[in-house]
Amino acid sequence: MIGMGILQGMAVTARNFVGSYFEKDRLITVQYPEERNPLPENYRNFPFLPYDGDDPHAGLRCVACKICEKECPPQCIYIVKSEDKKPDHMGKPQFYPKVFDIDISVCMSCQICVEVCPFEAIKMDKVFELSRRERFDALLLRKSDLAKSNEYYHSICPTDATEVDAKLAEAAAKKKPAPPVAPAASAPTA
Amino acid sequence: MTATIQTLEPIERPPTTMGSRLDGELLEVSMGPQHPSTHGVFRMNVALEGEIVRKLKPVFGYLHRNHEKIGENTTYLGSMPYTDRLDYFCSMTNNWAYALSVEKLAGIEVPERAQYLRVILAELTRLQNHASLLGFLLNDMGAWGTPLMYAFREREKILDLFESLSGSRMMCDYMRFGGCRCDTPPGWMEHARKLVDAFPRFIDELEKLVVGNEVVIARTQNVGKLSAELAINAGITGPMLRSCGVNYDVRKVDGYGFYPRFKFRIPLGAHGDTYDRLMMRVLEIRESVGILKQAFEQVQAGPIMNPKVKIRAFRPPVGEAYGRIEAPKGELGFYLISDGGTNPYRYRVRPPSFINLTVLEDLCLGHTVADVMVILGSVDIVMGEVDR
């Protein structure tokens, strides 16, 4: 009978309309700035540089090897390597990035810098409220904006951060037996 | 140099059946690129006789981003996030097609769990692509919003799964050469299984909503008929080809991934009209749900990445490879030529929606302007893939 299809469809619409007031899993509106949905742990948005210890400059794990700069598909990373070595938070002299800029107006959060980094020195952040009034400078994150503590990394990605810490500790333990004197000798000079 | 405005070539006046026309001349109308139902920045130059389409010329390139040339100037891995931006509804299948062609080029094996995960993700992508296509198609027909909102409600659940797995809803960038980037978070499989078990309920509902609807039937049956001969000659693939009754599905023909391990049927149409194309999507969703259920039973814990593959300075041997998969829109292929360096020498995409769009004029001739929108909707295009 003509019209039956339309009536059937309207019954579906009516059921959905009523359900949107009573079905629990469909009452999903969140009053955004006050309430927030929790982000999944794997969520990623723009990279940052975790640092160990208290000093954001000495504690950076980055040694300015420039691998991420080379591998970054949209070429949004700019690094200037230091000429001298400075002691890192363990007291070991290392090269460090004199300049480390990420242009987040270009960055597409693809995570390739994180994957290629051999030093666990760059990780994905979870910030997304980054609107700015200016188009250029405010969206160019400098080293001081990018450096965030390892505790912050633990707070956003607990599982990952614990794994990374274990990996770094293991690598440090492996290195120690070979030159047992070197770190002790360099420590007083630093 | 002065700018030239692109116009249609002079048209011979076709024999008209309507005697009482104003002057019998064709009216040239430019539909798009800002038209709400052109699915992005797509333009059609349409020559109309009254309301009847007599000539149609698609104009595209508004979203051209030089994808292939960028692919030749970045590393193999660097192109992976760019493939997400091709067909931004189905980034998982784009990733798979690209990973497959690089794996073919370099002869990389993929671990078992990664293969199952790829099948699961590709079929979830098919579910959400077809669901949202049905919504858009009905939106074009004038069912403002309602079916589209229902479809997006279901799509959102699948996107949440993608986000908790890969970190991003649409730009997943999840697959890697020789596996997948990371393993599933705890509870992901159960969540996905629950979602898939509940999905047929949505399809039943959508079928009740539209399939028997007299308006939908009147608007779609015998509209935009595509013959099997033309479809094969024009290189049409995917649900559009199968709606003409041609049994061709890369999942069965190539048997890539672990598809030979699953039992599923290929739905076929008989008429090749818009209604068949619409129903093809409904039936494919049902088959995909079947594949997903089998995959959830078979998937085992295990490694997810081939440990032999280098992440940094990946150089495949000299050679060429064409990897293709059955993306939700049709056959998606990547053709790569390697000269042994870190960048591909040639990087070519075979996009299904671009090639499916080539028969648009043949489908639309003789129909009204209102039907053009419906036919275009049933072709299932995404401009990110058409223009690249």
Residue B79 pLDDT greater than 50, yes or no: yes
- The pLDDT of residue A90 is 74
Q: Where are the domains of chain B?
A: 67-387
Phi, psi of B383, deg, nearest 5: -65, -25
Residue from A16, A65, A71 whose CB has the most chain B CBs within 10 Å, to mutate: A71
Query: In sequence order, which residues have a C-beta less than 8 Å from that of residue A175 and are 6 or more positions away?
Result: none
- The pLDDT of residue B124 is 92
Average pLDDT over residues B229-234: 89
Q: Does domain B67-387 have CATH number 1.10.645.10?
A: yes
Q: Where are the domains of chain A?
A: 47-165
The answer to whether B74 contacts chain A (CB < 8 Å) is: yes
Among B267, B161, B150, smallest CA distance to B202 is for: B150
Distances from the Cα of B322 to the Cαs of A170, B68, B72, B319, B333, in angstroms? 42, 15, 15, 11, 7
Phi, psi of A35, deg, nearest 5: -105, 150
- The pLDDT of residue B4 is 46
Tell me the torsion sign for CA atoms B73, B74, B80, B86.
Answer: negative
Average pLDDT over residues B183-198: 89
The CATH class that applies to domain A47-165 reads: alpha beta
Provide the 3-class DSSP secondary structure of residue B236.
Answer: coil
Residue B212 pLDDT greater than 80, yes or no: no
**Residues of chain A neighbouring B74 (CB-CB closer than 8 A):** 73
Q: Can you list the alpha helix ranges (DSSP code H) found in chain B?
A: 67-73, 79-84, 91-106, 112-140, 146-166, 188-206, 214-220, 228-233, 239-242, 250-253, 274-298, 352-356, 360-364, 369-379, 383-387
Can you name the residues that pair with A79 across neighbouring β-strands?
Answer: A100
Least confident of A84-88, B103-107, B137-141, B201-205: A84-88
Contact: B81, A41; criterion CB under 8 Å: no
Find the helix packing angle between B112-140 and B369-379, rounded to 10°: 170
pTM reported for the whole predicted model: 0.85
Using CB atoms, pick whichever of B150, B163, B209 lies closest to residue A43.
Answer: B163
* A–B CB contacts, 8 A cutoff, strictly below: 83
At B20, is the pLDDT very low, low, confident or very high (cuts 50, 70, 90)?
A: very low
Least confident of A59-68, B29-38, B109-118, B258-267: B29-38
The DSSP code for A83 is S
Residues of chain A with pLDDT under 50: 180-190
pLDDT tens across B260-271, in order? 888 888 888 888
At B109, is the pLDDT very low, low, confident or very high (cuts 50, 70, 90)?
A: confident
Find the helix packing angle between B146-166 and B188-206, rounded to 10°: 170
Q: Sheet with A147-149: list strands edge to edge.
A: A123-124, A47-51, A147-149
**Residues of chain B neighbouring A11 (CB-CB closer than 8 A):** 208
Give the residue on B whose Cα is nearest the Cα of A38. Answer: B164
